[in-house]
Amino acid sequence: MKNFKYIFISFVILVLTAGLFIIGSNYNNIMGNKKEIIENKKEITPNKKDKKEIPQKSRVEIFAMGDMIFHRPIVKNYAVENSYDFTPIFNNISGEIKSVDIAVANFEGSVNSNRALSGFPLFNFPKESIYSLKNVGFDVLSTSNNHALDTGIDGVHETINHIKESGMEVFGTLKEDSVDKGIVIEKNGIKIGFISFTDTLNGMDSLMNGREYSVNTFGQDFMTDISNLKAKSDIVIVYPHWGNEYQFRPTERQIFLKDNMQQAGADIILGSHPHVLQRYEVEDRDNKKFFTIYSMGNALSNQRVVNLKKKGVETGVFVKLIVEKDLNSNVTKLVEYGVYPTMVNRYHGGRGLIYDVVKLEDLMDGGRLSDTATESLRRDAANKYTEAIKVLKGEI
């Protein structure tokens, strides 16, 4: 009887233990599934939040230079058999040109195959001048300047044709009348408007009688032209050809025209014509930056201080600009800018005169090219740089 009691008690304990084990296992399974569901929810929620916080912005980097003038000594020294190759002139800045989204300059002259090549005062450049600029990285050229009509209306047309055939875009001159006096280039989802005007045509305005649309001038309704371009663009860049030659300070008319262009919708103004540098300024209005450089000086020319007795004619700048578009608000702004003094270094080499467009900082002590530059060239570059900075700041 005693043994039966012990057996019965042991049996009850065994049943209770088994039941608790089963209940515990089910509980763990249920809670484990619930925990897994909660953890999955935690994984989903942060992803949605992160997606909303990712900034949706697009950028375009722009490289700009002033007057490209292929004077006769430059043309003669870069003849290759029955053609010309000007690309070596830009070897030391081609990396800068090609690194950006859009590179632009002022083509100050014309191409007319029906006339002999010529220099000042009526420029007629070889067509290779255009194709060389394309090969070194330029994407678009301004053609509204005081030398646009140097070889007549047919020169205007042929110049446009070669620029387009090279794969570049052109603004400032037209073959046919149009309400659109500028162009729009879209890069990275940003529409950038380009337009240019000249304040003088060297007295050759009559060549446009009946075809006044051929060259954009400030004598036309330039504010309406800018406003029309602004309506189609996220940001507008104007290339004015204005001011007094060899004068370091902008004239009252330049300042007046600048104010009017900005009022019409210009965001960035990149001036040329004086053949020397003039100051730049950045104005902050309406939570935006407005950039103006009154003159970028000579990008390429044969003008020399020793011959002209004019300071600054060997010096120019290239300007780098970064514009940014907020894809949520569709607001486009200038967010970064830089102004870098350059020079046209001319010296005698094995083939005759060598022309080298170079950033001044590269030649100065510690610069990228300082080890190969002579002491006199380093000193000349340093002096030109100091003078350029003073002019750009408006101190001269």
90-106 confidence digits (pLDDT tens): 999 999 999 999 999 99
Is the pLDDT confidence value at 39 over 90?
A: no
Distances in Å between the Cα of 162 and the Cα atoms of 32, 73, 113, 131 are 74, 22, 11, 8
Mean pLDDT of 281-299: 97
* pLDDT reading at 16 higher than 50: no
**Is 218 a residue whose pLDDT tops 50?**
yes
- Cα dist. 380→56, 286, 342 in Å? 46, 42, 12
pTM comes to 0.86
Instruction: Locate 75 and state its tokens.
Output: 């043309």
Task: Count H helices and E strands in the chain, helices first.
Answer: 10, 16
What are the domain boundaries of the chain? Answer: 1-54, 58-392
DSSP H or E segment with residue 300: strand 298-300
pLDDT band at 264 (very low <50, low <70, confident <90, very high): very high
- Residue 272 — pLDDT band, cuts 50, 70, 90? very high
Q: How many residues does the chain have?
A: 396
Nearest one of 356, 345, 342, 357 to 389, comparing CA atoms: 342
Task: Find out whether 192 and 60 touch, Cβ atoms under 8 Å.
Answer: yes
Checking DSSP bridges between strand 298-300 and strand 57-68, what pairing results, if any? parallel
Q: What pLDDT digit, counting tens, does each position of 351-367 carry?
A: 799 999 999 999 999 99
CA-to-CA distance for 396 and 149, rounded, in angstroms?
Answer: 33
Cα–Cα dist 50/322, whole Å: 27
- How high is the pLDDT of residue 351? 77
Mean pLDDT for the chain overall:
89
Q: What residues pair up with 318 in beta bridges, in sequence order?
A: 65, 340
Helix (H, G, I), strand (E, B) or coil at 368: coil
- Please give the average per-residue pLDDT across 159-171, as a whole number: 98
**Letter string b/e over residues 182-207, b meaning 16 or more CB atoms within 10 A of that residue's CB:** bbbbebeebbbbbbbbbbbbeebeeb
The mean-pLDDT minimum among 19-23, 63-67, 319-323, 381-385 falls in 19-23
SS3 301: coil
Report pLDDT digits (tens) over 336-350.
Answer: 999 999 999 999 988
For the residues of 221-273, what is the DSSP string, one character each? -HHHHHHHHHTT-SEEEEEEE-S-TT-SS--HHHHHHHHHHHHHT-SEEE-BS
d(CA 294, CA 241): 9
For residue 181, is pLDDT > 50?
Answer: yes
Would you say residue 394 has pLDDT above 60?
yes
> With 80 as the cut, is the pLDDT of residue 41 above it?
no
Separation between Cα atoms, residue 2 and residue 47, nearest integer Å: 69
Q: How confident is the model at residue 285 (pLDDT cuts 50, 70, 90)?
A: very high
Query: How is domain 58-392 classified at the CATH fold level?
Result: Purple Acid Phosphatase; chain A, domain 2 (3.60.21)
